[in-house]
Amino acid sequence: MFFDILTIFPDLLDSPLNEGILRIARQEGKIRVEVTNIRDFAHDRHAMTDDRPFGGGEGMVMKPEPLAAALASVQKRQPGGRVVLLSPQGRLYDQRVARELAACSHLVLVCGRYEGVDERFRAAFVDDEISVGDYILTGGELAAMVVVDSVSRLLPGVLGCSASAENDTFSRSLLKHPQYTRPRVFGGCEVPAELLTGDHAVIARYRFLASVRRTIERRPDLIRLELFSPEEMKILKKAGLDRVVAKLQDGCDCCGKGADGC
């Protein structure tokens, strides 16, 4: 996977790209990341990449010429690529979108700033707009790193264990079960007995139920999206969770408080 990132603040990306999993993935050639400074393509003496908006109003708008020139430069070096603008007006980013982007071979991530980018650049050159949440950042750099990180870990060999990403929260529409490690007792609280049995079936059943309970408690909206197998429904029924799940999937909003139902 090849990532091109267009930004006016390339130093913001240095640390995330040179630590942890991303550093190793780059060293091993599993991902390539090139950062392009948009300011290098502004040809006035002050290297201006923004200007006041026509019609007045607050803030500044990123100029189309430096953006287009920077994009042309990276596409000349690496033709093609899906051009993604990080913008609060884009479609909401989630694990489904991460998997969609992981199927691409080349992503060009354009980091917006200020009040946004000139609409003519967006209309002519942008293939996709993505928002990492319903809040405002000072720029698209952190959002771009969210995309690079979440997409990279889905690529073959990046995590080292193919099952790791498959079992993450949001790998299906359930939050992941609670995790425990040594010591067995901490602050008077013991690790759940099921996890100490060594019985894989018991452990899997416990983790599945813990995952469902946590999702009901924290994100009941996700239950509506989940498809449970007949075997899983038997487990839910035995635990007294089948009616709660059924009501949530039928659109009831009052069932997310516990296993007692409405």
Is 122 a catalytic site residue?
Answer: no
* CA distance linking residue 52 with residue 4, whole number of Å: 27
pLDDT at 262: 53
Cβ contact 37:8 at 8 Å: yes
Is 127 a catalytic site residue?
Answer: no
pLDDT at 43: 85
pLDDT at 255: 54
Residues 6+ apart with CB under 8 A from 146: 93, 132
pLDDT at 102: 98
* CA distance linking residue 27 with residue 34, whole number of Å: 13
The superfamily (CATH) of domain 2-160 is SPOUT methyltransferase, trefoil knot domain (3.40.1280.10)
pLDDT at 177: 92
Q: How many residues appear in the chain?
A: 262
- The reply to whether 185-249 shares the fold of 2-160 is no
pLDDT at 167: 61
* CA distance linking residue 25 with residue 105, whole number of Å: 15
* CA distance linking residue 163 with residue 142, whole number of Å: 27
pLDDT at 44: 84
pLDDT at 151: 98
Q: Which helix (H) or strand (E) holds 25?
A: helix 20-27
The per-residue DSSP string of 186-235 comes to ETTEEPPGGGGS--HHHHHHHHHHHHHHHHHHH-HHHHTT----HHHHHH
Q: Model's pTM, two decimal places?
A: 0.86
Helix (H, G, I), strand (E, B) or coil at 175: coil
Tokens of 84: 């993604």
- Spans of the chain, pLDDT less than 50: 256-261
Kindly list the domain boundaries of the chain, sorted by start residue. 2-160, 185-249
Of the candidates 115, 128, 129, 232, the residue annotated as catalytic is 115
Of the candidates 82, 88, 128, 129, the residue annotated as catalytic is 88
Tokens 């449970």 belong to which residue? 228
Cβ contact 85:132 at 8 Å: no
Of the candidates 128, 129, 168, 232, the residue annotated as catalytic is 168
Of the candidates 39, 153, 214, 243, the residue annotated as catalytic is 153
Is 183 a catalytic site residue?
Answer: no
Is 168 a catalytic site residue?
Answer: yes
Give per-residue pLDDT as tens, 208-239: 999 999 999 999 999 999 999 999 999 999 99
CATH 1.20.1300 assigned to domain 185-249? The reply is: no
Helix (H, G, I), strand (E, B) or coil at 101: helix
